[in-house]
């Protein structure tokens, strides 16, 4: 399997008043296509920053990050947006749906070639049959997260990045969401990276990476 | 589902907010329509009423010619005289109908005639109508021409009005007077004319009328300026609303960026939303303005001038103008929206 994402001595430095904080301090990491990785660590360990750079939402201060061999710092903002839309699916902790749109409209929002049947089929697979026209406010947390996952998958991305996807769910719903992600990885070969501080959720992954102070410790 | 449809949804979902934003534009546009409309109407009325006075010289047969009518040849000479323009002919002659003296008057401008009943075409003064027992539809025969009375004028005179071309024809192609504007000083032109063309006399008129028309034009400009200030206030409210709406939607815009919309797409949809606000506001403003114009026309008895009071150019200009200005007002908020930092935007609650 070829390398999908590569972190090469990546540093990310923020200014907090006078002080400089290193959110990432020389991160080296390579993830292969078709892998399922969980990233764990206490808050402030840099795992969110790691995910933002992996999702091209943020740029390294130093070092290089490549996705599919492309150095993201060399891409225009338009090319970055196209990569996000075509290759990357995001699953956020706080669901982050458009409250004014129906579940189906939310799923289809980033869709490149509008295909109603495809969107419905995907939602059915996520256990959302019959919820097409409900608005996010009318759905439970678990259901909202399934809508988010459907939206993340609508353009058949090569990688799904999930930031605490089970953070706001009870353990039953959390396991169901992790099961869906595991299925996607095993059956569809989608590369998955999950950032979590929930050990139980992390166990679904094939590999667990522990982060601390902006570096990988195991 | 695309961003433009979503922008439209944003307006629909926040009805009160959208309505309040548009209110500024609505008031501005309605004010422009009403003020400019009334002034345009008044201008038309004044121009119509004074157009018969808008000439510098009157040329009529001289006393020595012994006739109140000049033949076509003389008239042509006058009309082709190089220092004259806006030349208008008038033909009027006496006739006796059933023993009553009447004057047949050719007219070029029916709007000046105040009608009691009927419509223009063949109009008799109410004095004539009374004496001869005419009503609308009565048959009249003048110089072997059979005509039907189409209207009765308010005037209690002795005139019968017909189209100037018809009057001239009935008078064997003769005219009784010619009015014209002059190039250069009217007095000099009038004197030259009398010397060059035999059998005519020329009188000059004051230029007051032109001054009145100029003043009316000025007042129209003034009204437009005042009304534009109103629209400007409306446009500022669009800037304000779009800025607030961008700030409120920081997180949503962050999500849009995270799922792969480009800065250009996000900017475009914000501008689209601003443009829709401006367009809808202007359309509603025009409708309200039109109602105002209609009421004003009725109150001022200008109803004959409705088309002048609500000209198409005005409607098109305010709608296009308001839409374009609103899009411009959306530029700064749209730029802010597109330049948002995604990570910070997603953290926004």
Boundary of a domain, candidates B161, B188, B206: B206
Tell me if residue A74 falls in helix, strand or coil: helix
Kind and range of the H or E run holding A62? strand A62-67
Q: How far apart are CA A87 and CA A4, in angstroms?
A: 10
Helix (H) or strand (E) holding A107: helix A103-108
Q: What is the pLDDT of residues A111-149, one digit of tens each?
A: 888 899 999 999 999 999 989 999 999 999 889 999 999
Q: What is the pLDDT of residues A48-89, one digit of tens each?
A: 899 999 999 999 999 999 999 999 989 998 999 999 999 999
Same domain, B177 and B231: no
Contact B346 A92 (CB under 8 A): yes
* Partner-chain contact A92 B1, CB within 8 Å: no
The confidence score (pLDDT) of residue B119 equals: 84
Residues B39 and B101 in one domain: no
Contact yes or no for A45/A211 (Cβ under 8 A): yes
Q: Phi-psi bin for B66: left (phi > 0), alpha (psi -120 to 50), beta? A: left
β-pair partners for A62: A11
Mean pLDDT of chain B: 83
Looking at the fold, whether B75 and B17 belong to one and the same domain comes out as no
Residue B224 vs residues A27, B31, B39, B63, B85: alpha-carbon distances, Å: 66, 9, 9, 51, 32
In chain A, which residues have their Cβ closer than 8 Å to the Cβ of B342?
A: 52, 57-58
* Same domain flag for B176 and B107: yes
Q: In what order do the strands lie in the sheet with A159-163?
A: A88-91, A159-163, A191-195, A36-40, A207-212, A215-216
Residue written as tokens 């475009």?
B268
Same domain? For B117 and B166 the reply is yes
- pLDDT tens, residue by residue, A136-187: 999 998 899 999 999 999 999 999 999 988 888 888 989 999 999 999 999 9
Cβ–Cβ of B252/A52 closer than 8 Å? no
Contact status, residue B122 vs residue B140, Cβ threshold 8 Å: yes
Gap between the Cα atoms of B25 and B30, Å rounded: 8
At A136, list the tokens. 């996010």
Domains and CATH numbers, chain A: 3-216 (3.40.50.300)
Q: How confident is the model at residue A96 (pLDDT cuts 50, 70, 90)?
A: confident
Q: Which of these three, B206, B234, B258, is where a domain ends?
A: B206
Model confidence pLDDT, tens digit, residues B126-168: 888 888 888 888 888 888 788 888 888 888 888 889 988 888 8
My answer on whether B299 and B167 are in the same domain is no
Q: By residue range, what is the domain housing residue B70?
A: 57-206
Q: How many CB atoms lie within 10 A of CB B295?
A: 11
Distance (Å, whole) CA B260 – CA B256: 7
| Residue B1: band (very low, low, confident or very high) from pLDDT cuts 50, 70, 90 | low
Q: Please indicate, yes or no, whether residues B175 and B309 belong to a single structural domain of this protein.
A: no
Is residue B247 scored above 90 in pLDDT? no
Strand pairing class (B57-61; B200-204): antiparallel
Kindly determine whether residue B343 and residue A52, on different chains, have CB atoms separated by under 8 Å. yes
Q: What are the angstrom distances between the C-alpha of B112 and each of B59, B102, B120, B150, B154?
A: 22, 20, 11, 16, 12
Cβ distance of B342 and A151 shorter than 8 Å: no
pLDDT band at A1; cut points 50, 70, 90: low
The C-alpha atoms of residue A188 and residue A160 are separated, in whole angstroms, by 12
| Residues 6+ positions from B219 with CB-CB distance below 8 Å | B39, B42, B43
Q: Is there a single domain that holds both residue B201 and residue B227?
A: no
Task: Work out the pLDDT band at B253, boundaries 50, 70, 90.
Answer: confident
- The answer to whether residues B214 and B202 belong to one domain is no
pLDDT at residue B206, rounded to an integer:
56
B272 with B256, same domain: the answer is yes
Of the residues B149, B183, B206, the one at which a domain ends: B206
**Domains in chain B: how many in total?**
2
Instruction: Provide the shortest C-alpha distance from residue A65 to chain B (in Å).
Output: 17
- Following DSSP, what letter does each residue of A129-195 receive, concatenated? TT-TT--GGGS-HHHHHHHHHHHHHTT--SEEEEESTTTTS-HHHHHHHHHHHHHHHHHH--EEEEE
Which three-class secondary structure state does DSSP give residue A213? coil
CB contact B14 to A (< 8 Å):
no
For residue range B26-42, list pLDDT tens digits in order: 888 888 888 888 888 87
State whether B225 and B190 are in the same domain: no
Q: Tell me how many degrees the CA angle B340-B344-B346 measures, rounded to the nearest 5.
A: 95
Option in B10, B260, B263 nearest A84 (CB): B260
Provide the 8-state DSSP code for A128: -
String of b and e for A65-101 (b: at least 16 CB within 10 Å)? Answer: bbbeeeebeebeeeebbebbbebbbbbbbbbbbbebb
Q: What number is the average pLDDT over the span A32-55?
A: 91
**Cα distance between residue B193 and residue B80, in whole Å:** 11
For the segment B278-325, what is each residue's pLDDT rounded down to a tens digit? 899 999 999 999 999 888 888 877 777 777 888 888 899 889 988 998
């Amino acid at each position: 399997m070829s390398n999908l994402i590569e972190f090469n001595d990546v540093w990310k430095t923020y200014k907090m008043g006078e002080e400089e904080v290193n959110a990432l301090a020389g991160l080296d990491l390579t993830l292969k296509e078709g892998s399922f990785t969980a990233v764990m660590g206490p808050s402030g360990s840099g795992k969110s920053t790691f995910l933002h750079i992996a999702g091209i939402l943020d740029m390294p201060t130093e070092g290089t990050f490549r996705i599919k061999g492309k150095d993201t710092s060399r891409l225009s903002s338009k090319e970055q947006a196209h990569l996000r839309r075509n290759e990357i699916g995001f699953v956020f902790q706080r669901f982050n749906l458009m409250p004014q749109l129906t579940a189906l409209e939310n799923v289809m929002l980033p869709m490149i070639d509008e295909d109603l049947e495809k969107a419905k089929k995907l939602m059915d697979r996520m256990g959302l049959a019959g919820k097409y026209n409900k608005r996010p406010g009318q759905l439970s947390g678990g259901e909202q997260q399934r809508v988010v996952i459907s939206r993340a998958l609508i353009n058949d991305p090569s990688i799904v990045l999930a930031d605490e996807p089970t953070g706001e769910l009870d353990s039953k719903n959390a396991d169901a969401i992790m099961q869906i992600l595991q299925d996607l990885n095993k059956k569809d070969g989608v590369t998955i990276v999950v950032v979590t501080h929930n050990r139980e959720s992390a166990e679904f992954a094939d590999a667990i990476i522990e982060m601390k102070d902006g570096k990988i410790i195991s | 589902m695309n961003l433009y449809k979503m922008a439209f949804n944003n307006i629909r979902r926040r009805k009160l907010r959208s309505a309040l934003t548009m209110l500024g534009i609505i008031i501005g546009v309605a004010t422009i329509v009403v003020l400019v409309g009334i002034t345009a109407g008044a201008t038309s009325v004044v121009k119509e009423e004074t157009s018969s006075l808008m000439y510098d010289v009157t040329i009529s047969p001289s006393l020595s010619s012994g006739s109140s009518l000049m033949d076509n040849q003389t008239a042509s000479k006058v009309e082709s005289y190089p220092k004259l323009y806006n030349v208008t002919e008038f033909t009027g002659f006496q006739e006796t109908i059933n023993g009553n003296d009447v004057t047949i008057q050719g007219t070029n401008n029916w709007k000046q005639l105040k009608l009691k009943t009927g419509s223009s075409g063949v109009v008799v003064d109410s004095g004539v109508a009374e004496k001869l027992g005419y009503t609308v539809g009565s048959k009249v025969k003048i110089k072997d021409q059979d005509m039907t009375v189409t209207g009765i004028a308010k005037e209690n005179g002795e005139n019968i009005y017909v189209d100037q071309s018809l009057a001239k024809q009935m008078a064997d192609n003769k005219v009784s007077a010619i009015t014209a504007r002059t190039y250069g000083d009217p007095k000099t032109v009038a004197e030259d004319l009398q010397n060059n063309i035999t059998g005519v006399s020329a009188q000059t008129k004051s230029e007051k009328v032109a001054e009145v028309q100029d003043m009316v034009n000025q007042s129209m400009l003034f009204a437009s300026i005042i009304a534009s200030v109103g629209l400007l206030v409306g446009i500022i409210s669009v800037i304000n609303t779009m800025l607030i709406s961008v700030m409120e939607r920081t997180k949503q815009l962050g999500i849009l960026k995270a799922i792969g919309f480009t800065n250009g797409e996000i900017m475009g949809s914000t501008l689209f939303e601003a443009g829709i606000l401006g367009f809808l506001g202007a359309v509603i403003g025009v409708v309200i303005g039109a109602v105002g114009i209609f009421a004003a026309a009725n109150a001022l008895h200008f109803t004959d001038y409705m088309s002048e009071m609500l000209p198409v150019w005005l409607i098109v200009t305010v709608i296009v103008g308001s839409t374009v200005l609103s899009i411009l007002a959306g530029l700064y908020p749209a730029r802010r929206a597109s330049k948002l930092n995604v990570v910070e935007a997603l953290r926004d609650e």
